A and B are shown apart, each in its own frame.
Chain A
């Protein structure tokens, strides 16, 4: 059409035009947020609260996981060795067991060490002294790697270890392992459900805010459309608005979590010391902060996409 060489030189090159269009959309979005500071601030606080709830839960769960690892909660498999196993063959067995890729570590408890521990724990020294020989077998305590700490994998490993020559019996407290596994699984699932629900709420909140703005600016969109603006060009300022709202909400939520953690820390520590088991309260790491900001930006962008999709398809 009207694309003479002079017209072309008056226009920006395609890439620059694209970048300039993004910069304008970003500036437009910042402008529309600062134009109504009060309602924008309210929106940001609401988004911040919604994101901070699952974030707080995550920090507390992380703390609980840390605390529980300070007790001996890692499941192990006890291998009872044949009574005639010598120390050298026991060392060979340990070497063999450690070569399993499912095994994280193994600990040898000799029969005499076992007897000593048993005597200490049961206070039956008197009775044990009268015994002719040590009835306890030597034990190798095997700790599997973290990925194998679920009931099914533990059972497979138990069978494999049982078949090693020199191992009389491999014992695994499956009930206890299952219980622990299920408690952790439950915690994780509850956390996931809450995260999904609150994140969905953030998408809907942002979408609603953007939709209200888009309705207000409907005339502008129509005019832009009639003068040849593409849908993505019209959508862009709305998407940036959602992104900024999401990011600001994420930042607010970090402040809320930091404040909550520091507010709870002192009484929680005092309470836990009274039980002689220090409960650790995980702090918000830089990695956590980046994840929150990234997630909130994506949620904001998604909410705005939803609103702009509805807005453009109605026009």
Chain B
């Protein structure tokens, strides 16, 4: 599903990632950890094709994604679900509209959009709040909306950048079990977090980055 071959990313003044080799099979779930500045966010940016690697090859679904055109990048992203530390919801759109976004982009039929959004809202226990605006929800609820939006189009790859960063331990646990549930139905997931305590309870492979290099 996901293969990185000798990936490096250099900026003007420093090297963010150095010679990374990594492979995740379809249906795998792994944690990406490391201190601040270790390169977690850069790695996720490369996977989401926000940035291009300076060297090396990136394969998603056996497709070389290192040098894609803007049009192909858009098409690839439609099969990726992304969750951010700050949920990045559109403030003037209600919860239904926020979650429906990836489906609208991919051109789904309206009845299918309604069906899927309802189903996913139920999954994240927000079925009664579809007409609320994001700022009317708690931070935990907003994060759940972000997760719902990331999985509503049933992506084959789920990427998360510190999804529990702003949440208390109980909520964090709840959200991790959501990821586990999605992974159980075959979604490949890579979750960047520095919450080592939480990782230990999950019993999943851990990828550790240190100063841009892979240490385990």
Residues of A within 8 A of B (CB): 1-2, 7, 10-12, 17, 20-21, 24, 219-220, 222-224, 226-231, 233
25 pairs, A vs B, C-beta closer than 8 Å: A1-B79, A1-B156, A2-B154, A10-B109, A10-B112, A11-B106, A11-B112, A12-B107, A17-B107, A20-B107, A223-B88, A223-B101, A224-B101, A226-B48, A226-B77, A226-B82, A227-B101, A227-B102, A228-B77, A228-B79, A228-B105, A230-B70, A230-B71, A230-B74, A231-B70
Q: Which residues of A contact B104 (CB under 8 A)?
A: 24
Closest beta carbon of chain B to A124's beta carbon, Å: 86
Cα–Cα distance between A63 and B128 once the two chains are bound (Å): 67
Cα–Cα distance between A227 and B146 once the two chains are bound (Å): 12
Q: Which residues of B contact A223 (CB under 8 A)?
A: 88-90, 101
Closest beta carbon of chain A to B64's beta carbon, Å: 14
Closest beta carbon of chain B to A22's beta carbon, Å: 12
With contact pairs A223-B101, A227-B77, A228-B77 given, residues A10 and B108 touching in the complex (Cβ less than 8 Å): yes
The tally of CB-CB contacts under 8 A between chains A and B is 64
Q: Which residues of B contact A230 (CB under 8 A)?
A: 70-71, 74
Q: A2-B156, A11-B112, A228-B76 are in contact. List 6 more A-B contacts (CB 8 A).
A: A223-B88, A224-B101, A226-B50, A228-B78, A229-B105, A230-B70
Cα–Cα distance between A220 and B108 once the two chains are bound (Å): 20
Closest beta carbon of chain B to A227's beta carbon, Å: 5
Residues of B within 8 A of A (CB): 48, 50, 61, 70-71, 74-80, 82, 88-91, 101-102, 104-109, 112, 149, 154-156
Q: What is the chain B residue whose CB lies nearest that of A35?
A: B92
Q: Which residues of B contact A219 (CB under 8 A)?
A: 88, 90-91
A11:B107 contact, CB within 8 angstroms: yes
Q: What is the chain A residue whose CB lies nearest that of B81?
A: A227
Q: Which residues of A contact B48 (CB under 8 A)?
A: 226
Q: Which residues of B contact A228 (CB under 8 A)?
A: 74-80, 102, 105-106
Q: Which residues of B contact A231 (CB under 8 A)?
A: 70, 74
Q: Which residues of A contact B79 (CB under 8 A)?
A: 1-2, 228
B70:A11 contact, CB within 8 angstroms: no
Closest beta carbon of chain A to B167's beta carbon, Å: 20
Cα–Cα distance between A11 and B108 once the two chains are bound (Å): 4
A224:B50 contact, CB within 8 angstroms: no
Q: Which residues of B contact A1 (CB under 8 A)?
A: 61, 79, 156
